Amino acid sequence: MQMTKIKELPAILADQIAAGEVVERPASVVKELVENSIDAGSTQISITVEEAGLALIQVTDNGQGIAADEVKLAFRRHSTSKLVDRHDLFRIKTLGFRGEALPSIASVAEVILATAAIDGQGTQIRIRGGKQLEQKIIARPQGTQVQVKSLFFNTPARLKYLKSPQTELAVISDIVDRLALSHPEIAFSFKNNDRLLLQTAGNRNLQQTISAIYGIKNARQMLAIKNENLDFKVSGFVSLPKLTRATKNYISLLLNGRYIRNYQLANAVIKGYGSKLMVGRYPLAVIQIELDPVLVDVNVHPAKQEVRISKEEQLMQLITQTIYARIFQENLIPDALDNL
């Protein structure tokens, strides 16, 4: 084969390559857009999808918005407002920081973003397959709305790999649940084809958020936990030993407001039940973990669901001991679920 000269990839190709990692399926788009809304300080986030996200994914927030002169930049790769100096990467407090989501999504779909940083003074931009189609001034309230259509129109292999609409919707629903659990201070609503699938109050009450997601009956059978050591604060809710599921998927681990997957920590939760769980049964649990951001490396995978935690052993012990103490205390009385 004849070698050709080394050259930099055109931006659109680089974006599509990044999209391969960041935008796996409709649920990844929902996750990235909602995380941006959370990072923007929103108190209300509405998610609407049509045909399980293949026809439309729309996320509307009341966050800080994007200034007119920065809208274009938001779609440039490695452009972010979240890392200011070189030390920030080692103490990340936002969910995003890689500046990859918007350019990646816009490279494999049509994106219409309407935003305003100041009430009434908005911008709308439309990009399809990485090409800007229009940008105009609009009047809208402060906040941002992103619409994603024709997802994977130019990457047929990705489109083919998708599962049935029911499965894709279930994956989206799962992501929305975790995002809502991670942020009880934000009012979420989630609709598919005009059907309301989730609504949370956004009143900071985690147990009420759990109730909105898993039902009031289950929420009433959860025990509050709270503990801390020098490095970690652990709080949240765990189910009574009699309330179980056949998978570990109902154990949500939330690290500084970020939903993470972590086999060791999930097992630390299960271990807290000692021998009280039947074989093959797992608890429902929502575990909020707070720690100094320097103790966690979130820059492990583009989707940031896997993280590296220093002193993970100590954290596992804290989780297990806290749950054990609660499950094995004499009177297992669930915390009253008021205001419902």
Contacts with Mg ion, residue ranges (CB under 5 A): 36, 96, 101
36 or 123: whose CB is closer to Mg ion? 36
123 or 192: whose CB is closer to ligand ADP? 123
State which amino acid sits at residue 334. Answer: P
Which residues sit opposite 121 in a β-bridge?
A: 118
92 or 219: whose CB is closer to ligand ADP? 92
101 binds ligand ADP (CB under 6 A): yes
174/155 Cα distance (integer angstroms)? 25
Among 15, 30, 54, 65, binds ligand ADP (CB under 6 A): 65
Among 27, 49, 60, 61, binds ligand ADP (CB under 6 A): 61
107/148 Cα distance (integer angstroms)? 11
We find the least distance from the C-beta atom of residue 22 to ligand ADP, in angstroms, to be 9
98/93 Cα distance (integer angstroms)? 13
Tokens of 98: 């890689």
74 binds ligand ADP (CB under 6 A): yes
Judged by phi (left if over 0) then psi (alpha if -120 to 50, else beta), residue 215 lies in: left
102/157 Cα distance (integer angstroms)? 21
Q: Which of 1-9, 99-107, 154-162, 233-241 is the region at the interface with ligand ADP (rule: CB under 6 A)?
A: 99-107
Among 102, 148, 213, 269, binds ligand ADP (CB under 6 A): 102
207/211 Cα distance (integer angstroms)? 6
Among 64, 121, 229, 321, binds ligand ADP (CB under 6 A): 64
83/91 Cα distance (integer angstroms)? 10
Which residues sit opposite 50 in a β-bridge?
A: 56
Residues 27-46 interacting with ligand ADP (rule: CB under 6 A): 32, 36-37, 40
Where do contacts with ligand ADP occur on this chain (CB under 6 A)? 32, 36-37, 40, 61, 63-66, 74, 80-82, 96-102, 144
